[in-house]
Chains A and B, each alone.
Chain A
């Protein structure tokens, strides 16, 4: 009995550590307060209104999301082709690509970002304002993780289905698109989602490659903490709360969907 209490007590403690900051900030985001801990100044949606009224913040949020989705999409396409190709290649090619793919995974983001900045901006003199360095940086950052989530699905795949499709008269391209690709969809989707979240969370690659007038959520928040504008600060509380709620909603939906699927299978 005491053991059980101790166990759950520990889990609760860790959860408190994780959630108290987020939840306290969420509560304060619905008030007029300018600092956490002091008086709240009453309930208000002011921070949420500011978040959507402020052009700078709106375009920053939109830019972050657009960058993440576009780069993740390109990264996922590249990684899917790469994974299929390397899966059917000779062992040498396969292990070469796997090793190359592992480099950005183990490398520090800051080194990835800095090295891309040196090559593209310093040496090749690509204009930052074209968004090309930024886009390429985010694709380098995310594609290897997409690759890693697609590869296991290729290994699990039943190869005889592909052969059967060919025997039944499908061309190799048809077999690839209608037989192989559909089996990879779960891996491709989770690879895409992983790419999106990595891109949304990135600070370092973005700082070293972005146009000076463009900001993502990460770079904007870091700049805002250096400044002392209270209105910006409290509007970011609202943003943090909105993202938290979105993540919770997403996780709940995914759980419901996957448990429903499991039940159907049974």
Chain B
């Protein structure tokens, strides 16, 4: 029996080794490169470059601004949608939900191409509204990431709680504000993280919609093209720290079950 337990456990060795070699080691290398210069000597210059340059700091703020606006727009569109879908008693609810997330499986560059054509028709010259178009593009891309966790948390909500609240005299608005909304906070937090982080980095959406502003991802892209591994690593490190903080803060609240991309499958 002990021998058999041992052999079953051993099955995880290849995967553990794989994760250490190709997930952890690359991150350690990033840390090393962020604090060294071209000659391999320890240096703070990449660090000070990032935090003293108005260019990179401006990029950081622009990224945050774009990401926060995108996240809020996604939330405003997705919450009522998820609420209606989860609370309604339509028979084929599952099929309807499918309709909302189905585009997720079409390559995002092709979807943005389609959106770009429509925006060109509506706006004439799309380079006139770079910020607006980037928000629309990212919302178009990331809406399902917001919708799914919200739907999951609203769907599994215990109906008797809502009935109890209205039996005890709460009107519909109070029931929503005091019961439904607080109970859906985990879904909101999950959805927000899943939109916030990609919208700080997915510079392809901006490129394709002719927004020449930089976001954090574009900095990595431009350092990559310039073979500047050290400054590129610094940007990656800054992103890692942001991701780490966001994960730490949200882990408390977020809905573990709804936290994965494509949890529909």
A residues whose Cβ falls under 8 Å from a Cβ of B: 7, 10-11, 14-15, 17-22, 24-25, 28, 35-37, 78-79, 81-86, 88-90, 93, 96-97, 100-101, 103-112, 114-119, 122-123, 136, 139-140, 143, 145, 147-149, 166, 172-173, 176, 190, 193-194, 197-198, 200-201, 203-204, 207-208, 217-218, 221-222, 225-226, 236-237, 239-240, 243-244, 247-248, 250-251, 255
Q: In the bound complex, how far is the Cα of B78 from the Cα of A85, in angstroms?
A: 38
Give the chain A neighbours of B30 by CB distance below 8 A.
111, 114-115, 118
Q: In the bound complex, how far is the Cα of B201 from the Cα of A108, in angstroms?
A: 7
Give the chain B neighbours of A96 by CB distance below 8 A.
16
What number of residue pairs across chains A and B have CB atoms under 8 A from each other? 252
Q: In the bound complex, how far is the Cα of B15 from the Cα of A139, in angstroms?
A: 11
Q: In the bound complex, how far is the Cα of B16 from the Cα of A143, in angstroms?
A: 12
A201: contacting residue among B25, B95, B99, B108, CB under 8 A:
B108
Let me know if B57 is at the binding interface, CB within 8 A: no
Using A82-B14, A193-B265 as known contacts, say yes or no to A106 and B243 having CB atoms under 8 A apart.
yes
A222: contacting residue among B7, B11, B204, CB under 8 A:
B204
Let me know if B220 is at the binding interface, CB within 8 A: yes
Q: How far is the CB of B66 from chain A (nearest CB, A)?
A: 15
Give the chain A neighbours of B200 by CB distance below 8 A.
108
Q: In the bound complex, how far is the Cα of B163 from the Cα of A87, in angstroms?
A: 40
B81: contacting residue among A11, A19, A255, CB under 8 A:
A11
- Chain B interfacial residues counted at CB < 8 A: 80
Q: How far is the CB of A161 from chain B (nearest CB, A)?
A: 15
A198: contacting residue among B94, B96, B111, B262, CB under 8 A:
B262
Give the chain A neighbours of B173 by CB distance below 8 A.
none
User: Do most interface residues of chain A lie in helix, strand or loop, or is the interface mixed?
Assistant: helix
Give the chain B neighbours of A90 by CB distance below 8 A.
9
Give the chain A neighbours of B197 by CB distance below 8 A.
106, 108
Closest-by-CB residue of A relative to B247 is A106
Q: How far is the CB of B99 from chain A (nearest CB, A)?
A: 6
Q: Which residues of B57-107 have CB atoms within 8 Å of chain A's CB atoms?
A: 77, 80-81, 84-85, 88, 94-96, 98-100, 102-107
Closest-by-CB residue of A relative to B96 is A11
Add 5 more A-B contacts to A176-B8, A240-B113 (CB < 8 A): A22-B114, A85-B15, A115-B26, A147-B15, A194-B265
Q: How far is the CB of A59 from chain B (nearest CB, A)?
A: 17
B143: contacting residue among A18, A20, A84, A204, CB under 8 A:
A18
Contact digits for B182-213, partner A, Cβ 8 Å, 1 yes 0 no:
00000000000000011011101001100000
Closest-by-CB residue of A relative to B80 is A10
Let me know if B41 is at the binding interface, CB within 8 A: no
B224: contacting residue among A17, A35, A114, A176, CB under 8 A:
A114
A14 touching B111 by the CB < 8 A rule?
no
Give the chain B neighbours of A198 by CB distance below 8 A.
261-262
Give the chain B neighbours of A255 by CB distance below 8 A.
94-95, 98
- Please list 29 pairs of residues, one from A and one from B, whose beta carbons are closer than 8 Å in the complex, sorted by A's number: A11-B96, A15-B100, A17-B140, A18-B100, A24-B114, A81-B15, A82-B15, A83-B12, A85-B8, A86-B12, A97-B12, A100-B16, A105-B260, A110-B239, A112-B26, A114-B224, A119-B22, A123-B29, A143-B15, A145-B261, A176-B8, A193-B265, A194-B265, A203-B109, A204-B217, A218-B107, A218-B108, A244-B106, A247-B105
Give the chain B neighbours of A218 by CB distance below 8 A.
107-109, 204
B106 touching A100 by the CB < 8 A rule?
no
User: Do most interface residues of chain B lie in helix, strand or loop, or is the interface mixed?
Assistant: helix
Q: How far is the CB of A139 from chain B (nearest CB, A)?
A: 8
A247 touching B102 by the CB < 8 A rule?
yes
Closest-by-CB residue of B relative to A82 is B15
Closest-by-CB residue of B relative to A221 is B109
Q: How far is the CB of B189 from chain A (nearest CB, A)?
A: 13
A217 touching B198 by the CB < 8 A rule?
no
A240 touching B12 by the CB < 8 A rule?
no
Q: In the bound complex, how far is the Cα of B100 from the Cα of A15, in angstroms?
A: 7
Q: How far is the CB of A50 from chain B (nearest CB, A)?
A: 16
Let me know if B110 is at the binding interface, CB within 8 A: yes
Give the chain A neighbours of B26 by CB distance below 8 A.
112, 115-116, 118-119
Contact digits for B231-249, partner A, Cβ 8 Å, 1 yes 0 no:
0110010011001000100
A172: contacting residue among B8, B94, B108, B111, CB under 8 A:
B8
Q: In the bound complex, how far is the Cα of B12 from the Cα of A93, in angstroms?
A: 9
Q: In the bound complex, how far is the Cα of B113 from the Cα of A243, in angstroms?
A: 14
Give the chain A neighbours of B110 by CB distance below 8 A.
217, 221, 236, 239-240, 243
Q: Which residues of B245-265 have CB atoms within 8 Å of chain A's CB atoms?
A: 247, 260-262, 265
Closest-by-CB residue of B relative to A223 is B109
Comparing B42-50, B116-124, B127-135, B150-158, the segment that makes contact with chain A is: B116-124
Let me know if B23 is at the binding interface, CB within 8 A: yes
Give the residue among A107, A115, A197 with the most B Cβ atoms within 10 A: A115
